[in-house]
Amino acid sequence: MKYIVCEEPGQFLIKEKSEPTLAGKQVLIQMKRIGICGTDLHAFQGNQPFFEYPRILGHELAGSVLRVGPEVTAFKAGDRVGIMPYISCGVCIACRRGKPNCCTSIQVLGVHSDGGMQERIVLSEDLLLSANHLEWAEIAILEPLAISAHAIRRSQLTDKDTVVVMGCGPIGIGVMAFAKMEGARVIALDVQDSRLEFVQKNLGISDTVNVLQGNAQAQIEAMTDGDMAQVVFDATGNKRALESGVDYMSHGGKFVLVGLYKGELNYRHPAIHAKETTLLCSRNATRQDFDYVMDKLNQKKFPVNSFVTHTVPFLDMPQHFEDWLKPETGVIKAMLEL
Q: What pLDDT sits at residue 326?
A: 86
DSSP 148-182: HHHHHHHHT--TT-EEEEE--SHHHHHHHHHHHHT
The per-residue pLDDT for 116 is 96
Residues 228 and 166 in one domain: yes
Q: Is residue 297 part of a domain?
A: no
The answer to whether residues 200 and 264 belong to one domain is yes
Domain tally, the chain: 2
pLDDT of residue 222: 98
The answer to whether residue 291 is domain-embedded is no
Residue 197 domain flag = yes
What is the maximal distance between C-alpha atoms in the chain?
63
296 within domain boundaries:
no
Q: 135 and 157: one domain?
A: no
- What is the predicted pLDDT for the residue at 67? 96
| Dist CA 176 CA 170 (whole Å) | 10
Q: What is the pLDDT of residues 32-90, one digit of tens each?
A: 999 998 889 888 888 777 688 999 999 999 999 999 999 999 999 999 999 999 999 99
Residue 329 forms part of a structural domain: yes
The answer to whether residues 42 and 16 belong to one domain is yes
Q: How far is CA 151 from CA 18, 33, 62, 147, 309, in A?
A: 39, 25, 23, 6, 24
pLDDT digits (tens, 9 = 90+) for 281-318: 999 999 999 999 999 999 999 999 999 999 999 999 99
**Amino acid of residue 124:** S
In the prediction, which pLDDT does 39 show?
85
- Tell me what pLDDT residue 63 has: 98
pTM, two decimals, is 0.95
Is the domain of 117 the same as that of 153? Answer: no
Q: Is residue 204 part of a domain?
A: yes
Ranges of the chain with pLDDT below 70: 50
Indicate which CATH number applies to the domain containing 315.
Answer: 3.90.180.10
275 closest CA partner among 227, 239, 238: 227
| Number of neighbours of residue 56 by Cβ within 10 angstroms | 19
- For residue 286, being part of any structural domain is answered with no
SS (H, E, C) 215-261: CHHHHHHHHCCCCCEEEEEECCCCHHHHHHHHHHEEEEEEEEECCCC
- pLDDT, residue 279, reads 97
Range of the domain at 189: 148-281
Whether residue 269 sits in one domain with residue 152? yes
In a shared domain, residues 56 and 160 = no
Any domain includes 259: yes
Residue type, 65: V
Return the DSSP state at 51.
Answer: -
Q: What are phi and psi of 174, to 5 degrees?
A: -60, -45
What is the distance between the alpha carbons of residues 149 and 178, in angstroms, rounded to a whole number? 7
The pLDDT value recorded for residue 263 is: 87
Q: What is the pLDDT of residue 337?
A: 97
Residue-level pLDDT at 335: 97
Cα angle: 36, vertex 38, 44; to 5 degrees: 80
